[in-house]
Amino acid sequence: MNCSKIMDNMEVYLRSDLRKDLDEANAQDLHHALSKAIMSEIAEPWKESLLLHQAGRHAYYMSAEFLIGRAIYNNLLCLGIYDEVEEKFKERGLDLSMLEEVEDASLGNGGLGRLAACFLDSAATLDLPLDGYGIRYRYGLFKQYIQDGFQKETADDWTRFGDPWSIRSDSDAVLVKFADQTVRAVPYDIPIIGYGTKHIGNLRLWQAESISSFDFNEFNAQHYDASVREKNRAEDISRVLYPNDSTDEGKKLRLKQQYFFCSASLQDIIKKYKANHGNDFTRFAEFNAIQLNDTHPVISIPELVRLLTTYEGVEFRQAVEIAQKTFAYTNHTILPEALEKWNKHLLIAVVPEIYEIIEKINNMFIDELYKQQRNPDFIQDVQIIKHDMVHMANLAMYGSSYVNGVAAIHTEILKKNTLHSFYELWPERFQNKTNGITQRRWLAMNNRELSALITRLLGSDAWVTDLTQLKKLEKYAHDEAVLDEFWNIKHQKKRQLGMFMLKHDGTAPIKGSIYDIQIKRLHEYKRQFLNALSILYIYYGIKDGSIQDFYPTTFIFGAKAAPGYDRAKGIIKLINEIARLIENDGQVRDKIRVVFVSNYNVSYAEKLVAAANVSEQISTAGTEASGTGNMKLMLNGAVTLGTMDGANVEIVEEAGLENEYIFGGTVEEIERQENNNYIPYNIYNGDPKIKRVMEALVNGTLNDGGTGIFRELYDSIIHKVDWGQSHPDKYFLMYDFQSYVDTKLRLNRDYRDKYAFASKCWMNICNAGKFSSDRTIQDYAANIWHIDPVEFE
Ligand SMILES: *Cc1c(COP(=O)(O)O)cnc(C)c1O
């Protein structure tokens, strides 16, 4: 990549697009011009890569979310010009870090969307022919700010300063038809730049637009109003990302979003197939593999059948077989109640032809089951339509060739519980693909200091594309000179984070303290509430002298709560009230600080994971499918304080139990409690210290601003039984409480022995190799998609 040319072109774009000279340009201007200059440099290899994808067998990743974050730094890194561009900026009196002002593309809620982004990065780097399809939301995940301790939301107008990393392709627009409207789907393509290769993958995001153009001949006010309404109604479909997976709100629009991007993508895929292979669809599945990221794109299955039977002359049964061979489904949820279902009448109202096809598929499936003489209960369990509801996971199971869980323990739970009947039917369809993260963004880019140390010790930067190399660093686990260097780097990253927090949130961590970090979507199952209660417990312990010599710790939280999720928002308020209580207490304030950082997103995560000493991964065993935040923190040298849940299990397996802080009930123990009349009140009432902590919620110690939400939180643990729940404390906070606090305090004591603790952190880095998304993607490519790397001339 020719860096000087890029810099020259940057100035050309500044002048031609923005009418500015270098010394007049602000961060947004520079970002625009630099991005455009790079886009023009990569145009050729991008085009060539996509032709190669089409020439052979290739795969698509369909996902309602792609949490890509900020592209510029990652792209500079992958093109191998980061240092050079940084240098050239300096020569011109500019600082490359000023581009941190540029907003993230937050087109996802959390882990599921970030996973999709990491996967595309890995596939591009490995030269694998994988492209993504999703939705170009006008507004991404809301922006969060904190007022009086409460979360407030504003719209994420992420394209306000343009979107230089997308190319709109009007010539590839297609129509998508609903019962009550037809809209135009217009694709925007984003390049996914492979690291150290010419290869560039594609992320195609669809935007909904109106099909009608305004007719001036018939101008009148009424006509004008109607046409504006129609335009808005079309654009509504890709207007907002749904921040909540679990409410009834806007269900119809959400269904429209799913069908919208699935139909547009499949029309696009079919068009490309015909251009390359003609009209013989018997070979469609030979060339195309489509991965469905959770159930959001599962409506693709009947849509492919519809497109093939309606427009391509394929017979129904054969179309279903083609779909089954083409699709594979990734499950991300354990809890049966979280599996997506659509009301039949809603489907009929929105996409009647699709419902008809689902019904036919369902009948076909039931016929097969009768022929196999399956009993009625079994058929009832696996059928796609029951009690007027369409079960999308069941449709996915029947309509694909593979299903995978996202961590070993998760896949076992799927086989044993969630999808057990399907496992009886088709054991060969089940695979595990433990999630991963890209080390380009989550180490090479966000932690250049640690990266430099690793590269120096290994004598090579091969780890950037082969993370298993890190294992070779184990020999330094007791080398005090290396541990000192590592510790100094960690210190530097902590200082950098502290400065950013001060600027961004007005509070910095305690100097020299342990950085104990919990960052993830706010949800009861992730148990930020338990973390908050443990801090209160330690606070009272320090005050009454039962906890001595507590090593100063800053507890950092970052999380967004879905706007309609009251308890989650209550937990944010609680964390902020605890922060205030402690800050106002001269006896404890130099020992504990609590900071809730606002607007947690990918760019904030990059800084937080680099600075963490402790990674809080404390979900109730059996609730977190995998987690990927745990992997990012491990890779940057934090120890895990966590439960035996999701990928934590494999983290322990890789790094060794002695290098993590594991507590709490196992999946089996929690299951036993579930079946054995669990009474959290008894734990609360039996331990005065726990009782004191819980009572702080309701005795006036903590102030919820008159909302009553702290009482509600208290009740959810002690008294009130939620509808359909057999016991309060659904996520077993009381059950795990003592073990959690004991383990947290043990960690706190261990931290005093610097080398012993640093050694544990180091062992985490050395053993993070398995958690590269390169490993995950290679496994998908070999065992699900059956695709090979493309080869350039
Ligand atoms: C990695 C990541 C997540 C997922 O975190 P978990 O701890 O696995 O839930 C969520 N949000 C952002 C911004 C991330 O980068």
- Look at residue 675 in the predicted model and tell me its pLDDT: 87
Mean pLDDT value of segment 322-332: 98
Task: State pLDDT tens for residues 204-218.
Answer: 999 999 997 666 566
Whether ligand 1 lies within 6 angstroms of the CB of 114 is answered as yes
Q: How far apart are CA 157 and CA 137, in angstroms?
A: 10
Q: How far apart are CA 262 and CA 269, in angstroms?
A: 10
pLDDT(116) > 90: yes
Q: Which pLDDT does position 247 carry in this prediction?
A: 54
- C-alpha distance from residue 617 to each of 218, 496, 510, 631, 703 (Å): 62, 24, 22, 10, 28
CA of 705 to the centre of ligand 1 (A): 30
Contact by Cβ (8 Å): 109, 65: yes
The yes-or-no verdict on residue 490 having pLDDT over 90 is yes
Give residues with Cβ within 8 angstroms of 580, minimum separation 6.
149
CB 562 within 8 A of CB 244: yes
pLDDT at 249: 54
Say yes or no to pLDDT of 360 above 80: yes
When the pLDDT of each residue in the chain is averaged and rounded to a whole number, the result is 96
778 CA → ligand 1 middle, Å: 22
Average pLDDT over residues 747-767: 98
Ligand 1 centroid to Cα of residue 629, in Å, is 5
DSSP state of 619: P
The mean pLDDT value for 701-712 works out to: 97
723 pLDDT band, cuts 50/70/90, is confident
Q: Give tens-digit pLDDT for 605-647.
A: 999 999 999 999 999 999 999 999 999 999 999 999 999 999 9
439-777 is a CATH 2.40.340.10 domain: no
Per DSSP, which regions of 377-513 are E strands? 385-386, 389-391, 402-405, 430-432
pLDDT given for residue 224 in this prediction: 80
The closest residue, in CA terms, to atom 6 on ligand 1 is 629
- Does ligand 1 lie within 6 Å of residue 622's CB atom? no
Residue with CA nearest ligand 1 atom 7: 629
Strand runs (DSSP E) across 109-237, as ranges? 130-135, 143-147, 150-154, 167-168, 174-177, 182-193, 200-210
**Tell me, what's the pLDDT at 5?**
94
Cβ(608) to ligand 1 under 6 A? Answer: no
Q: Is 263 in the pocket of ligand 1 (CB under 6 A)?
A: no
Q: How far is the CA of 334 from the centre of ligand 1 (A)?
A: 18
389 pLDDT exceeds 60? yes
DSSP-assigned letter for residue 161: T
Q: Is the pLDDT of residue 227 over 90?
A: no
Assess whether the C-beta atom of 629 lies below 6 angstroms from ligand 1: yes
Query: 780 falls in which pLDDT band (50, 70, 90)?
Result: very high
Compute CA distances 508 → 419, 501, 557, 613, whole Å.
46, 6, 13, 16
Percent of the chain with pLDDT over 70: 98
Measured from the CB, is residue 619 less than 6 Å from ligand 1? no
- What is the pLDDT at residue 368? 97
Going by pLDDT thresholds of 50, 70 and 90, the confidence category of residue 676 is confident
Distance 502 CA to ligand 1 centre (A): 22
The pair of structure tokens assigned to 599 is 């607007």
Structure confidence at residue 515 (pLDDT): 98
What is the reported pLDDT for 336? 79
Residue-level pLDDT at 621: 98
- Measure CA of the first residue to CA of the last residue in the chain; give whole Å: 18
Contact 655, 763 (CB under 8 A): yes
258 Cα–ligand 1 center, Å: 23
Question: In this prediction, what percent of the chain has a pLDDT beyond 90?
Answer: 94
Band (334; pLDDT cuts 50, 70, 90): confident
Q: Please calculate the CA angle 740-741-745 and round it to the nearest 5 degrees.
A: 120
| pLDDT average, residue stretch 338-363 | 96
| pLDDT category of residue 382 using cuts at 50, 70 and 90 | very high
* pLDDT reported for residue 215: 60
pLDDT value of position 726: 86
441, 521, 635, 645: which to mutate for ligand 1, most atoms within 8 A of CB? 521
- Ligand 1 contact, 627 CB (< 6 A): yes
Q: Which ligand 1 atom is at minimum distance from the Cα of 626? A: 8
Please report the atom of ligand 1 found closest to the CA of residue 437: 1
To test the ligand 1 pocket, which listed residue (65, 66, 67) has its Cβ within 8 A of the most ligand atoms? 67
- In a mutational test of the pocket of ligand 1, which residue from 434, 601, 628, 776 has the highest number of ligand atoms less than 8 Å from its CB? 628
254: its two tokens: 């959400």
Please choose from 119, 517, 519 the residue to mutate so as to test ligand 1's pocket, defined by most ligand atoms within 8 A of CB. Answer: 519
State residue 214's pLDDT score: 60
Domain coordinates in residue numbering, the chain = 298-433, 439-777
Confirm or reject: Cβ of 609 under 6 Å from ligand 1. no
Return d(Cα 516, Cα 494) in angstroms, integer. Answer: 11
Integer Cα distance of 639 and 762 in angstroms: 9
Q: What atom of ligand 1 comes closest to residue 628's alpha carbon?
A: 8
- Which residue has the least CA distance to atom 10 on ligand 1? 110
- Atom nearest to 632 CA in ligand 1: 1
d(CA 598, CA 605): 11
CB under 8 A, 24+ apart: contacts of 356-365: 357/302, 357/305, 357/306, 358/302, 358/384, 358/385, 358/390, 358/395, 359/385, 360/316, 361/301, 361/302, 361/305, 361/320, 361/395, 361/398, 361/399, 364/317, 364/320, 365/398
Of all protein residues, whose CA lies closest to atom 8 belonging to ligand 1?
627
Q: Which atom of ligand 1 is nearest to the CA of 604?
A: 13
**Catalytic residue positions?**
332, 520-521, 526, 628, 632
Indicate if the pLDDT at residue 405 is higher than 80.
yes
Q: How confident is the model at residue 221 (pLDDT cuts 50, 70, 90)?
A: confident
Ligand 1, atom 1: closest residue by C-alpha: 629
pLDDT tens-digit map of 37-86:
999 999 999 999 999 999 999 999 999 999 999 999 999 999 999 999 99
pLDDT in tens, 430-486: 999 999 999 999 999 999 999 999 999 999 999 999 999 999 999 999 999 999 999
pLDDT tens readout for residues 123-174: 999 999 999 999 999 999 999 999 999 999 999 999 999 999 999 999 999 9
What tokens were used for 45? 């290899």
What are the b/e assignments for 57-68, b being 16+ CB within 10 Å?
ebbbbbbbbbbb
In angstroms, what is the C-alpha Rg of the chain? Answer: 27
Q: How many angstroms does the Cα of residue 634 sit away from the middle of ligand 1?
A: 13
Task: Calculate mean pLDDT across residues 580-607.
Answer: 98
The SS3 assignment for 94 reads coil
Q: What is the pLDDT of residues 235-266, one digit of tens each?
A: 999 999 987 655 555 788 999 999 999 999 99
**Helical H segments across 470-565, by residue range:** 480-505, 528-544
Contact 604, 558 (CB under 8 A): yes
Q: What is the pLDDT of residue 694?
A: 98
Per-residue confidence (pLDDT) for residue 244, from 0 to 100:
67
d(Cα 323, Cα 307) in Å, to the nearest integer? 11
Ligand 1 centre and the CA of 749: distance in Å?
A: 28
Q: How far is the CA of 196 from the centre of ligand 1 (A)?
A: 26
